[in-house]
Structure 1
Amino acid sequence: MGSSRFSDPKVVVAVALLCCLLWGSSYPAIKSGYAWFGIAADDVPTKLVFAGWRFLWAGLVLLVLALATRKSIWGLGKSTARELVVLGLAQTTLQYVFFYIGLAYTTGVKGSIMNATGTFFSVLLAHWIYHNDRLSHAKLWGCLVGFAGVMVVNLGQGSFDLDFTLLGEGCVVIAAFVLAAASIYGKQVSQRMDSVVMTGWQLAIGGAALLAIGWASGGALTGFTVASTLLLVYLALLSSAAFSLWSLLLKHNRVSQITVFNFTVPIFGAVLSAIFLGEVLLEWKNLLALVLVCCGIWLVTRDTPAATPASLDK
């Protein structure tokens, strides 16, 4: 599939949903990984080590793939190297540090809902950064309807109250903002280099930093078996595929057109958790959430024509 195809509306929808399906599959995979590796719910350092291995391997897979397809991964220049370090430390390391700290001090339900604010941040930041990606009534309503779907899918899964703490919900919101800002920064970087090489380096750098922070904080990943190792390999491969494809979508399309698909991640997560973890799926809230998310995506994308690379300037 050529790079130009990533601006075709049908390809955009198919690839974006594939990425979100892969990320949704990480929900049951990570839950299983914590159990198989014996990671306690409040053991944030070991969770960072777990994530570090996942993203380091994911980055290395993409860099090896780049080399195999005769793409240059070395000699990119000091300026580009600095950009890759900033991107890796922000999009992978900083975002996950804030995310895991936040989840340690809030419920999974509230964390999932707060994390969905990243889509709003992406649309708002794009409004101020790109002249051709302004916030419209359709986009605003699309985000609100999609966010409502995320809230609906979490109804009944745990407690939800109006308490807000900086270490809990605050850190999750900060993580969502960091990811949104880093994704837009990555879009800028991808205009000047190959998206696969960029994604490979940012994942590898970010994963290595997560490993260092986790080890320095006393984390240690044990319990390696054939099953647990294969699960970690799967998580690395899905990250390689999803992040590289997502970077290509952002490179060739408007930010708001792509990020709204993030609302489908909790839906895919709920479906796959029901399949692999035996959680309840056929409930009214899941069907209503799916309808709301689809309506939100339609509202954002209905009047957003596919953008060519030449039209993506500031």
Structure 2
Amino acid sequence: MLWGGTAVSNRIAVDTLPPVFVGGVRFGLATLFMVAWCRLEGSPIVITRSQIRPVSILGLLLFLQISTFNWGLERSNSSHGTLFVNTFVFWVAGIEHFLLRTYRLRAVQLAGLMLAAGGVVLLLATTGDDAATQRDVPTLAGDLFLLVSGFLLSLKVVFTRSAVKQMDSGTLILWHDLIGTVLFFAYAATFEDFSGASAPPSVIAALLYAGLAVSGFCFAAQAWLLRHHSASQISVFSFATPVFGVAAGVMIRGDNLSSWLFLSGLCVAVGILLVNRRGNGGDSTPRKKNAEAEREENPQSASTS
């Protein structure tokens, strides 16, 4: 539910502030949140030399993913942003099935992928059809940026799954936020125009929400969960994000709930459910074996569970 408001809050912020700078403020706030989180959780603040590489990769992925997300929102609307960025669930499933071999897609999950893909194609094909009836006009360029952001998010989720085996999840997200923040502000200071920038109360509230509730709490909780469950298992709950996101876009930003948007959102939400559907089929044994192997490799995770 909290993640569903991300696109709306960012869309409000990029109305008056440069998009990459918005990412810097958002994750600067998240860094402060994570310092408190690490203190509360007892996670170390300082990293070792061997941990520099994973946090640097994640920080770079964060910079690329959020920058493309905000560039897309600047050229689209929050409803499209919610739907396109949540395609990360399908990218995660595909990566784990075809590349990592840690998750086996069955016929019903493949059907979910195709259904969601159909929803995405439908939304791309109808972009701009109802431009005259809404405040934030979606464009094809904006939607493509958002789609790329969804793919980059899937890479970050899968890499986080691997990185939390090497270090504490709170420490990982703290440094991922910190490195991303440095990159955001460095880019903004070099390339973005602040001549018309302003921060009215609505933008300040949006930044606080995006920085503390989403980039702080949601990212930390996701990293913690990824220590104990596969990325695909975590992603099943994302079916609710498009529902909350589109609803927030319609109520707060005045996005037009057209029949095409409704149908596309339904395809994506149902696709997420199907892709992450669990049963007594052939993929239960591999998951059990993977869990046993993971406990052997990461006893700290097992004891915490």
- Considering the TM-score relative to the shorter chain, is it more than 0.5? yes
The match for 2:63 among 93, 107, 113 is 93
Residue 149 of structure 1 contacts residue 293 of structure 1 at CA under 8 Å; is this kept in 2? no
Per the alignment, residue 286 of structure 1 pairs with: 262
Per the alignment, residue 234 of structure 2 pairs with: 258
Aligned-pair distance for 1:240? 1.0
Provide the C-alpha distance between the structure 2 equivalents of 1:172 and 1:96, rounded to a whole number of angstroms.
9
Per the alignment, residue 42 of structure 2 pairs with: 70
Q: How many residues align?
A: 280
Q: 1:57 to 1:285 in 2, by over 3 A?
A: closer
Q: 1:251 to 1:138 in 2, by over 3 A?
A: farther
Provide the C-alpha distance between the structure 1 equivalents of 2:71 and 2:10, rounded to a whole number of angstroms.
16
Per the alignment, residue 29 of structure 1 pairs with: 9
Residue 56 of structure 1 contacts residue 205 of structure 1 at CA under 8 Å; is this kept in 2? no
User: Which piece of structure 1 moves more, 280-289 or 49-58?
Assistant: 280-289
Provide the C-alpha distance between the structure 2 equivalents of 1:230 and 1:53, rounded to a whole number of angstroms.
12
Residue 122 of structure 1 contacts residue 255 of structure 1 at CA under 8 Å; is this kept in 2? yes
Q: TM-score, normalised by structure 1?
A: 0.73
Residue 122 of structure 1 contacts residue 256 of structure 1 at CA under 8 Å; is this kept in 2? yes
Within-5 A mapping of 1:123-138:
123-138=93-108
Superposed CA RMSD in Å reads 3.7
Provide the C-alpha distance between the structure 2 equivalents of 1:110 and 1:29, rounded to a whole number of angstroms.
14
Percent identical residues: 22
Query: 1:136-182: CA deviations, max 9, x gaps?
Result: 2222112223444556678866249xxx99x7666544433322122
Aligned-pair distance for 1:273? 2.0
User: Which piece of structure 1 moves more, 120-129 or 291-300?
Assistant: 291-300
1:232 aligns with 2:232: no
Provide the C-alpha distance between the structure 2 equivalents of 1:269 and 1:105, rounded to a whole number of angstroms.
17
Within-5 A mapping of 1:204-223:
204-220=178-194, 222-223=197-198
The match for 1:84 among 55, 58, 61 is 55
Aligned-pair distance for 1:102? 5.5
Provide the C-alpha distance between the structure 2 equivalents of 1:64 and 1:295, rounded to a whole number of angstroms.
37
Residue 119 of structure 1 contacts residue 143 of structure 1 at CA under 8 Å; is this kept in 2? no
1:301 partner SS: coil
Within-5 A mapping of 1:79-228:
79-90=50-61, 92-101=62-71, 115-149=85-119, 158-159=128-129, 171-220=145-194, 222-228=197-203
Q: 1:174 to 1:129 in 2, by over 3 A?
A: same
Corresponding letter in the other structure for 2:217: A
Q: 1:235 to 1:171 in 2, by over 3 A?
A: closer
2:276 partner SS: helix
Corresponding letter in the other structure for 1:200: L
Q: 1:127 to 1:203 in 2, by over 3 A?
A: same
Query: 1:204-230: CA deviations, max 9, x gaps?
Result: 211221111111103338423444323
1:71 partner SS: coil
Provide the C-alpha distance between the structure 2 equivalents of 1:31 and 1:47, rounded to a whole number of angstroms.
9
Q: TM-score, normalised by structure 2?
A: 0.74
Q: 1:59 to 1:148 in 2, by over 3 A?
A: farther
Provide the C-alpha distance between the structure 2 equivalents of 1:106 and 1:291, rounded to a whole number of angstroms.
20
Provide the C-alpha distance between the structure 2 equivalents of 1:111 and 1:272, rounded to a whole number of angstroms.
12
The match for 2:246 among 257, 270, 277 is 270
Query: 1:43-87: CA deviations, max 9, x gaps?
Result: xxx11001111012112211222124432111x211102211111
The match for 2:23 among 35, 44, 51 is 51
Query: 1:77-104: CA deviations, max 9, x gaps?
Result: 11102211111111x1022334445566
Aligned-pair distance for 1:129? 4.6
Residue 155 of structure 1 contacts residue 285 of structure 1 at CA under 8 Å; is this kept in 2? no
Provide the C-alpha distance between the structure 2 equivalents of 1:168 and 1:232, rounded to a whole number of angstroms.
21
